[in-house]
């Protein structure tokens, strides 16, 4: 059995339905409140992520930003949960860095911090941009930190606006 796509009209991109209603991405940060939880472990990388995130949040028009720091990546989900429970934040951002070591601890911290962030997001309905880097070494982290911080800011703003549009 084979499938041959039907031609699309010039006004509709390939694969799109003619009667499709699409909610476009919205990166307008004005009026949003963003909470950031940053792990202090691997602090220089965390600060690089934070710098990229805050710069992009300002560029997108977000004026209300709150920062909370915690000891490490495993403590991030609990702080995110408390921030989400306040009802004050449009979206949250998780910032941290887990660098592979010689033991299994890397996998535990990487997996459990990611699971915790996802669980908080789903339990509370508050979108969370996960900018917890999981890398092999500090050099990889330094290469990725600025861009990942920027992307986390964009993700937080876009998801906050998407959830507002879906109400």
Residues taking part in catalysis: 105
Sheet holding 33-39, edge to edge: 64-70, 33-39, 91-99, 128-135
Neighbours of 59 (CB within 10 A): 13
Say if strands 128-135 and 91-99 run parallel, antiparallel, or are unpaired.
Answer: parallel
Of 36, 116, 114, nearest to 69 by C-alpha is 36
CA gap 151, 52 in Å, rounded: 8
CA–CA separation, 105 and 101 (whole Å): 8
H-helix or E-strand spanning residue 88: none
Neighbours of 72 (CB within 10 A): 15
Query: Phi/psi at 130 (nearest 5 deg)?
Result: -90, 105
């Amino acid at each position: 059995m084979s499938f041959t796509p039907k031609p699309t009209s010039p006004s509709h991109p390939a694969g799109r339905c003619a009667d499709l209603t699409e909610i476009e991405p919205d990166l307008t940060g004005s009026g949003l409140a963003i909470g950031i939880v940053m792990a202090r472990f691997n602090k220089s990388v965390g600060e690089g992520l934070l710098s990229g995130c805050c710069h992009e949040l300002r560029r997108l028009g977000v004026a209300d930003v709150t920062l909370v720091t915690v000891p490490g990546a495993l403590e991030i989900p609990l702080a995110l949960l408390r921030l989400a429970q306040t009802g004050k934040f449009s979206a949250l951002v998780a910032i941290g860095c887990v660098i592979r070591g010689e033991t299994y601890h890397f996998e535990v911290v990487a997996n459990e911090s990611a699971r915790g962030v996802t669980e908080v997001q789903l339990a509370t309905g508050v979108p969370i941009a996960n900018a917890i880097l999981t890398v092999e070494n500090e050099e990889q982290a330094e290469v990725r930190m600025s861009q990942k911080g920027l992307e986390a800011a964009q993700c937080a703003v876009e998801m906050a606006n998407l959830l507002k549009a879906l109400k």
